[in-house]
Amino acid sequence: MAHVLVQNPSGSDGLRTVKLFFYAAVILLIAEWIGAFTFKLGPGKIVLLPMIWALLLGAALGLASSRWRSSARLDVATQFLAAAVLQPALLLFVAKLGLLVGGALPKLAAAGWALAFQELGHFVGTILLGLPIALLLGIKREAIGATFSVGREPSLAIIGEKYGMDSPEGRGVLAEYLTGTVFGAVFIALLAGFVASLGIFDPVALAMGSGVGSGSMMAAASGAIAAQQSPEVAQQVLTFAAASNLITTTIGTYFTLFISLPMAVWGYRVLEPVLGRRTRASAASDAAAHAAVRAAEGTAQDVASVRTEAPALGYPGKLLAWVMTAIFAMLCDRIAHGTAFGALLPGMLAMLGAVIVGDAVSTLTRRRIPAVCWVSLAAMFMTSPLCPWATQIAAVSAKNDFLAVTTPMLAFAGLSIAKDIPAFRRLGWRIVLVSFIANAGTFLGATLVAQIFHH
């Protein structure tokens, strides 16, 4: 049923489509009604923004509705649909980032080495922090897969090809992937907001650290940082975070393959005899190898189905997802800032235009280059000095709040999470803790490198 629904969301399963968008609308209204919530934690503070509430509410609804017996429950097929809708919704978010980056290209060029070398911090930071702790917790070769990167889709492909997903390294990268999917945005937002409140790092350096290669995690981190800055500095934070994320997404795959993975393997070989421990985690890994393989294979199939089905909506489905996400984003903007829909519409049409053009070019080139790259380039051109209407487009798009575009995206992410929980539980708390530490390492490592070069 999930396969039929995802491939043809506008057919006989249209009721699920209506149910999904209805739940998303209700969640967005509740999230915006709650608003931002700030509380002190030691010398710093934690900022919970509406986008975090949207993700948590979506996940809670999916988990709670598993006990319902009525047709109103958020069944697994609807959760797969939410994952499918998340992909085109992400393109609208990418278009907003591109519009921000295009007008700031001179500033980005001036940043120069800071943007270039922060990439080193992203990947080395995961290993320096995550690998030793994984070994102290008794985790064996799973530590390599869990700490060589932040474990997004390219990392799954690299480990799958080199070791196989039924290997210890494969189980490790799956843990990192699922941790990022289920908790990554919430965790990185709390961490980034707390570190920003300490006043240790320049906001621009923090923004570069936010570009971890995941759109939702970058949005959550940069949003938490920007919320504590003046409007001018907040704009810089979002711009540099977008540029950093673009660099991580494009060249980061090669960096991961040729530098960070060999470094993680070498680090494991050197540190395991010194720090490695025999614990219940390592004993269970050895004694129940076949069960772990079956669990990993099942998880890999779940992840693979999300990744292969998510872009298979078909053009009518994608167009519906773009339009509904745009409407939801303007609704969030209206509630949060009171901006009239008429003032928001021109900027939103510019974003939709960049998405449609970028997706069309990607289709014409047979998807050799992902649509996210073409959408980003199209949006950047619209506000760059090369475009004759750049000033006008930048002016109208500036009225659309970045966080308003982010909140619907995380609502769809939250509504898709519950289906991954069974596979997530099988991987154990130790490797989940290591995944959190690796995520913290990539953010703090890149921020530190960017701080050094930025100043």
List, for residues 99-108, the tens digit of each pLDDT value: 877 876 776 6
pLDDT at residue number 51: 82
Lowest mean pLDDT across 186-190, 273-277, 301-305: 301-305
Delimit the domains of the chain by residue range. 2-454
Angstrom distance (rounded) from CA 160 to CA 300: 10
Angstrom distance (rounded) from CA 215 to CA 152: 10
């669990």: which residue's tokens?
Answer: 295
Average pLDDT over residues 218-246: 86
Q: How many CB atoms lie within 10 A of CB 311?
A: 15
Q: How confident is the model at residue 309 (pLDDT cuts 50, 70, 90)?
A: very low
Q: Specify the pTM.
A: 0.68
Angstrom distance (rounded) from CA 82 to CA 80: 5
CB-based contact 238:207 (threshold 8 Å): yes
Q: Which among 180, 254, 241 has a CA at the least distance from the CA of 439? A: 180
Lowest mean pLDDT across 7-21, 57-71, 282-296, 409-423: 282-296
The sign of the dihedral angle between the CA atoms of 290, 293, 299, 305 is negative
Q: Tell me: the pLDDT tens digits for 45-70?
A: 666 788 888 988 998 998 888 788 77
DSSP letters of 326-341? HHHHHHHHHHHH---H
Average pLDDT over residues 390-396: 92
Angstrom distance (rounded) from CA 167 to CA 333: 46
